[in-house]
Structures are given as structure tokens and as C-alpha cells.
């Protein structure tokens, strides 16, 4: 029975440490060894339905699971009442929640920030809908019986491939009819789940042990059912959406606005002059916002990064400060690591204070393009990221005109009367926005203050080649800069300069330069088409209002000095 335990294992895989892609299984082909079969798809689905027995038609249930993942031993508790549910996951001192009530999906982070989800990821729903149609005799093109295999088990293999999603392959045991294995692609990585130790509950046959892997042992997840209580009493209040924590960022008494201690990029209109040895002065090419924080009395430099799904600190700094680390941490030959977690007792950001919050531990001295260390073009040593949990706890204004960043107590940030409001989807704890590339609308670009440019990912570029065709200037510039690349998880990737005919974000930018990631790059992104970085963002003062799932763009001085709208005929 696919529904039981799927939420627990899915959340764990999404949260598993990111390890080197070279160690992961990235084979996107159907399973090997498939042979023809005399069975039909209808035969296999009927066999599976008989094997699983009746569906759990109880009014409510409570499931408790244990898991081992990423160096953690933890528990997951799921409460169901009809189609509504709540999941609470505990890993050591860290706890997070998620659920659905009245058709509304939500999640709460380890630091207690609650968000309403915007439907960015629909893969699980699409798969179940396709299977439901196939069981009703209407498989269409989405569900196909590929044949049968004898290894790793004797099973029928059914491919489920909804139009907008990568494929999933389901293995149904030839003897029992039970689903014993599934393989699916996510973000270009192949994940495998194996179902075992089947037991019968109220006539329904259910796997009580689920193991998951993507080829990298550090990412392996083993989930085991502890208890299952059918028709357990569940009150409506047990499923309510928990309120957000409002004291994660503390303001001084009676103060509702605080300027952060920051170093801002130079205005785009500022002339950068090389020194006599043909070098730019330190910091003159800065395109990130650097924030000074204090932990344990020590001043540290963090980047303000809306593309980061949490707060992160360099592992060396965490080690030097003696912060207890939980979970696995691994450094690979590719220079990439899986994050551990720490609890930071206190951090000050100017007059603001954060206490007892969870942060990830990652390396910041990573090798970039042509052997350069990431961040080496600025004078300060960056050792952390201020991401989702900080930005979501305040109203945040980035004012390029004044060269300042101001944090406001929730609900007190004044908004500009002439600003452009852009809705945000925060399902992945990063701001997902709409961007129009030429005449194609994408709903899956990330607004990323940690990105230098507008970056278009390989999947979107392949699907919309005409819209991403260079208008001439990209190719001309690339002749002088043939080896452009970016630093990415797991190493580096080649990028190509492309002059788009048009880019629309907040307003129309004509003949705009972007970076397109090489389609052969060793990484892919699921449900993300690209990033909107500094090359566009510096045209607007930014008002981050995560509490209301929006950002407001106020045209600034750089915007006034440039032409972005189409010329009149």
C-alpha cells in the first residue's frame, strides 16, 4: 500500500545530506534486464490490488516510525483523519512538522517557521492520480507495463511517467503481486526504495520496513514501522496548523526597525578602475550582501542569501567555537560536503539577537572555477549564510540607493506605494517566482540574493531552445571569455553567455544577458528552471515579506538610468 509511510520516507530523502553527485546513481534509463511478458498491465494491477487487500478505510489512524538517516536516529509520527494529516519528525534535538488540512499543505521548519505551501512539487500526487486512472482502465500514455525482470527480484516492471514529471518504475512481485521496489528520478539523481516485512492490518497488507538509497551510502535511509493504531481518536485540533515562532529574531525593546551591519555591492553605475597590475581593487566586483554577525563574542561575515533554505555556518568555525554537531558531515574529492547541524546558543546581528536556533554546517572554502576559492574576490572571509529562517522572521528591505539593509519587526515594514508586488511560493524555503523568458512563462525561478546573474538551468534551456537562442552579443563576448563557469554543488559547471530577446521580471528587460548552464553539466534541478540574481535585482529596492508570501520591487536609481520597456513602434 503506497500511501502508508510515503510521507515519512519522502521527507527524509528531501532532507538527506547533499553528497557528491559523482557518487550518486544518475542513470535515467529504464531498469536493466527487462524481458517481454505475456501479462497485461490490467493483469498486473489486478494482481497487486488483490495482494494489498482492502484499502485502509478507517476514519483515522496514527503511525509511528523510526528511521536512520544522515547520521541521525529519529522518529516520525503521522496522524490521519480522512484526507487530513500531520507529520512530526524528530532528529536528536531537532523537530519539524508538516501536513495537510482542508486541502491546504503546510510545513514548519526546525526553527519553528510555518509556511503555507504553494504546490511547487506535485510528483507524488501526479503519480497516484496516474495509477488511479490506470486501475480504472484508463492508463493513457502515463502508465505502461514494460515487461518483467529476474534481478534484483522476479517482478513485473510498470513505468509511471506523467507528462510534467520524470519517470518512476514500480516493481510488482510476480508471485505475491505486492509492490516490493520503486525507482524514480529526482533532480537528475535516481532513488531506489525497497519495501519489505509485509504485515496485515485490518485486512490491508502493508510494508513495515522501507529502505531508500541514491547510490551514496551517506544518503541511505532505513525506516521501520513501530506502531499503527487504526480508528484512534483524533481531534480536529490535533491537525491544526501550528503558529510560527515569533521570537526567533529579537528586536530591542520598543524598536521596530534595525539597520544591519552590511557591506553592499557598489552601484552598477560606478566605474570600476583596474590597478597598475591590471587587477580590480578588493571588493570592487562584489555582487553579494555581506552581513557582520557576532557569535560567542567573535565577529563573522555572512552572506545574506535568499537562495539558502536555512542558516549555515562554516565547519571550521563551528569546530573552533566548540559547537556540538549532529548528523553526518563528509568532505569529498570533488570538494563538496553533506551538512551536519548545530544549535547556536546566541548570534547578534547589529542590535538584533537570535537565540538557540538550528543551523547547518557546510564548508565555505570551496574550490571555484579555474582553481579559485569561492568568495576570494572580496576582502572579508565569508563563513556563513543568512537564509530562510532569518528572512522569514522579519520584514527585510534591501535598499540599493542608500546602501543599507533594514530589518523590521513582523507586520511593521512600510511598503512603497508604487512598488510591483511579486507573489512567492516558499515550498522549498526559498522564494520561487514567475519569470518570462522571451514569450515563455516559467513559474519556477528562485529569487536568489546569493546569485550574481540570471542563471537558466539545462532542463528549461533544452525544452525552450528558441526562447533561449542568443541574439548575438553573448556569442561575441564569449569569444573573449571562452571558459566561463560557475561553482555548483559537487564542483563546477560550464556556462554560456546568452543575450535574450526579452526577460520579464517585475518589468520587461530587452536584449538582456544571462548565463545558461551547459546541458551536459553534472547536476540537474527538479522543478527549478533558473535563478534571478544580482544582475536583475540591483534595479529594484527589495521588500521581503515572507509572512504574506510576497516580495515588493521598487524601481531604484539604477532602474531609472536604464531602459527596460519595449520601444514604441
Per-residue pLDDT tens digits for 136-146: 999 999 999 99
CA distance 336 to 333: 8
Does the pLDDT of residue 283 top 90, yes or no?
no
pLDDT per position as a tens digit, 344-379 = 999 999 999 999 999 999 877 654 455 454 555 556
In this prediction, residue 275 carries a pLDDT of 43
In this prediction, residue 118 carries a pLDDT of 86
**Looking at 14-18, 304-308, 367-371, which range is the least confident one?**
14-18
In this prediction, residue 286 carries a pLDDT of 59
The residue extents of the domains of the chain are 6-239, 247-414, 418-569
Which residues, in sequence order, are CB contacts of 170 under 8 Å at separation 6+?
Answer: 157, 158, 159, 160, 179, 181, 182
Does the pLDDT of residue 202 top 90, yes or no?
no
In this prediction, residue 267 carries a pLDDT of 63
**Looking at 25-34, 84-93, 411-420, which range is the least confident one?**
25-34
Over range 538-554, report the average pLDDT: 96
Q: Where are the alpha helices (DSSP H) in 99-157?
A: 123-135
Using DSSP's 3-state secondary structure scheme, residue 218 falls into helix
Phi-psi region for residue 54, left (φ > 0), alpha (ψ -120 to 50) or beta? Answer: beta
Closest alpha carbon to 365 in 357, 374, 356: 374
Return the CATH number of the domain spanning residue range 6-239: 2.50.20
Closest alpha carbon to 528 in 106, 187, 214: 187
The fraction of the chain above a pLDDT of 70, given in percent, is 83
CA distance 307 to 558: 23
Query: What topology is assigned to 418-569 in CATH?
Result: Cathepsin D, subunit A; domain 1 (2.40.70)
In this prediction, residue 482 carries a pLDDT of 73
The fraction of the chain above a pLDDT of 90, given in percent, is 62
Locate 492 and state its grid cell.
563546477
Tell me: cis bond preceding 152? Omega within 30 of 0 counts. Answer: yes
In this prediction, residue 485 carries a pLDDT of 74
Closest alpha carbon to 222 in 64, 8, 365, 498: 8
Within a 10 A sphere around the Cβ of 165, how many other Cβ atoms?
22
Over range 42-58, report the average pLDDT: 85
Q: Give domain 247-414's CATH number out of 2.40.70.10, 3.40.50.300, 3.40.50.261, 1.10.443.10.
A: 2.40.70.10
Q: How does the average pLDDT of the chain come out, rounded?
A: 85
In this prediction, residue 220 carries a pLDDT of 87
- 18 pLDDT tier (thresholds 50, 70, 90): very low
Give this prediction's pTM: 0.87
In this prediction, residue 8 carries a pLDDT of 39
Using DSSP's 3-state secondary structure scheme, residue 448 falls into coil
CB 114 within 8 A of CB 273: no
Locate 232 and state its grid cell.
484512534
Does the pLDDT of residue 229 top 50, yes or no?
yes
CA distance 292 to 356: 19
In this prediction, residue 480 carries a pLDDT of 79
Over range 10-14, report the average pLDDT: 35
In this prediction, residue 269 carries a pLDDT of 54
Domains 6-239 and 418-569 share a fold: no
CA distance 504 to 228: 51
- 273 pLDDT tier (thresholds 50, 70, 90): very low
Does the pLDDT of residue 270 top 70, yes or no?
no
566 or 308, which is more confident:
308
**Looking at 178-182, 206-210, 262-266, 431-435, which range is the least confident one?**
262-266
Does the pLDDT of residue 489 top 70, yes or no?
no
- 271 pLDDT tier (thresholds 50, 70, 90): very low
DSSP string, 62-107: EEEEEEEETTEEEEEEEEEETTEEEEEEEETTEEEEEEEETTEEEE
185 or 280, which is more confident:
185
Instruction: Give phi and psi for 527, each to the nearest 5.
Output: 60, 25
CA distance 474 to 476: 5
CA distance 368 to 366: 6
Looking at mean pLDDT, say which of 30-44, 58-72, 270-284, 457-471 comes out highest. Answer: 30-44
DSSP string, 196-207: EEEEEETTEEEE
pLDDT per position as a tens digit, 157-190 = 999 999 878 899 999 999 999 999 999 987 778 8
Q: Cell 531604484 appears where?
A: 556
Does the pLDDT of residue 488 top 80, yes or no?
no
Closest alpha carbon to 560 in 532, 533, 539: 539
Q: Cβ-count burial of 479 within 10 angstroms (0-12 exposed, 13-18 middle, 19+ buried)? A: exposed
- Number of alpha carbons in the 13 Å side-chain half-sphere of residue 377: 15
> Mind spelling out the 3-state secondary structure of 463-517?
HCCCCCCCCCHHHHHHCCCCCCEEEECCEEEEEEEEEEEEEEECEEEEEEEEEEE
Over range 101-116, report the average pLDDT: 94
In this prediction, residue 274 carries a pLDDT of 40
Does the pLDDT of residue 293 top 60, yes or no?
yes
In this prediction, residue 331 carries a pLDDT of 38
Does the pLDDT of residue 537 top 70, yes or no?
yes
Beta bridge partners of 23: none
Over range 224-231, report the average pLDDT: 92
- 566 pLDDT tier (thresholds 50, 70, 90): very low
Closest alpha carbon to 389 in 105, 115, 116, 14: 115
Q: Cβ-count burial of 550 within 10 angstroms (0-12 exposed, 13-18 middle, 19+ buried)? A: middle
Amino acid at each position: 500500500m503506497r500511501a502508508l509511510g510515503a510521507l515519512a520516507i519522502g521527507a527524509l530523502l528531501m532532507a538527506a545530506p547533499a553528497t557528491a553527485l559523482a557518487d550518486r546513481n544518475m542513470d535515467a534509463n529504464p531498469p536493466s534486464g527487462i524481458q517481454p511478458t505475456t501479462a497485461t498491465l490490467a493483469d498486473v494491477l489486478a494482481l497487486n490490488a488483490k495482494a494489498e487487500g482492502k484499502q485502509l478505510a478507517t476514519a483515522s489512524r496514527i503511525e509511528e516510525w523510526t528511521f536512520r538517516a544522515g547520521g541521525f536516529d529519529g522518529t516520525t509520527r503521522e496522524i490521519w483523519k480522512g484526507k487530513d494529516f500531520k507529520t512530526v519528525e524528530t532528529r536528536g534535538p531537532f523537530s519539524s512538522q508538516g501536513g495537510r488540512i482542508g486541502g491546504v499543505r503546510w510545513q514548519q521548519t526546525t526553527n519553528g517557521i510555518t509556511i503555507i505551501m504553494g504546490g511547487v512539487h506535485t510528483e507524488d500526487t501526479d503519480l497516484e492520480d496516474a495509477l488511479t486512472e490506470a486501475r480504472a482502465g484508463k492508463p493513457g500514455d502515463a502508465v505502461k507495463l514494460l515487461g518483467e525482470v529476474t534481478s534484483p527480484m522476479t517482478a513485473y516492471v510498470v513505468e509511471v511517467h506523467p507528462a510534467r514529471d520524470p519517470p518512476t518504475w514500480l516493481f510488482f512481485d510476480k508471485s505475491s503481486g505486492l509492490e516490493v521496489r520503486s525507482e524514480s528520478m529526482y533532480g537528475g539523481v535516481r532513488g531506489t526504495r525497497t519495501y519489505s516485512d509485509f504485515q496485515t492490518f485490518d485486512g490491508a497488507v502493508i510494508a513495515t520496513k522501507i529502505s531508500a538509497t541514491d547510490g551514496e551510502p551517506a544518503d541511505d535511509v532505513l525506516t521501520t514501522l513501530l506502531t499503527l493504531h487504526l480508528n484512534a481518536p483524533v481531534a480536529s485540533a490535533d491537525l491544526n496548523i501550528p503558529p510560527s515562532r515569533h521570537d526567533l529574531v529579537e528586536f530591542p525593546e520598543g524598536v521596530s526597525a534595525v539597520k544591519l551591519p552590511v557591506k553592499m555591492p557598489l552601484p552598477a553605475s560606478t566605474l570600476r578602475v583596474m590597478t597598475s597590475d591590471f587587477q580590480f581593487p578588493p571588493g570592487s566586483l562584489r555582487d553579494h550582501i555581506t552581513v557582520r554577525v557576532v557569535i560567542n563574542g567573535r565577529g563573522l561575515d555572512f552572506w545574506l542569501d535568499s537562495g539558502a533554505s536555512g542558516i549555515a555556518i562554516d565547519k571550521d568555525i563551528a569546530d573552533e567555537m566548540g559547537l556540538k554537531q549532529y548528523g553526518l558531515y563528509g568532505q569529498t574529492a570533488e570538494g563538496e560536503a553533506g551538512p551536519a547541524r548545530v544549535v547556536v546558543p546566541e548570534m547578534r546581528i547589529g542590535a538584533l539577537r537570535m537565540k538557540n536556533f538550528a543551523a547547518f554546517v557546510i564548508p565555505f572554502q570551496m574550490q571555484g572555477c579555474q582553481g579559485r576559492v569561492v568568495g576570494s574576490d572580496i576582502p572579508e572571509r565569508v563563513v556563513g549564510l543568512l537564509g530562510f529562517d532569518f528572512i522569514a522572521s522579519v520584514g527585510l528591505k534591501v535598499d540599493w540607493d542608500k546602501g543599507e539593509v533594514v530589518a523590521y519587526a513582523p507586520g511593521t515594514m512600510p511598503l512603497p506605494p508604487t512598488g510591483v508586488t511579486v507573489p512567492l511560493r516558499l515550498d522549498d524555503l526559498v522564494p520561487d517566482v514567475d519569470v518570462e523568458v522571451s514569450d515563455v512563462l516559467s513559474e519556477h525561478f528562485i529569487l536568489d540574493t546569493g546569485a550574481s546573474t540570471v542563471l537558466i538551468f539545462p532542463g528549461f534551456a533544452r525544452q525552450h531552445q528558441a526562447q533561449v537562442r542568443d541574439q548575438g552579443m553573448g556569442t561575441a563576448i564569449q569569444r573573449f571569455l571562452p571558459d566561463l563557469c560557475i561553482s555548483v554543488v559537487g564542483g563546477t559547471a560550464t556556462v554560456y553567455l546568452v543575450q535574450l530577446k526579452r526577460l520579464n521580471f517585475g518589468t520587461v528587460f530587452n536584449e538582456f544577458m544571462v548565463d545558461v548552464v551547459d546541458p551536459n553539466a553534472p547536476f540537474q534541478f527538479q522543478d527549478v528552471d533558473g535563478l534571478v540574481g544580482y544582475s536583475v535585482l540591483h534595479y529594484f529596492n527589495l521588500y521581503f515579506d515572507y509572512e504574506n508570501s510576497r516580495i515588493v520591487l521598487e524601481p531604484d536609481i539604477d532602474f531609472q538610468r536604464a531602459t527596460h520597456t519595449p520601444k514604441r513602434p
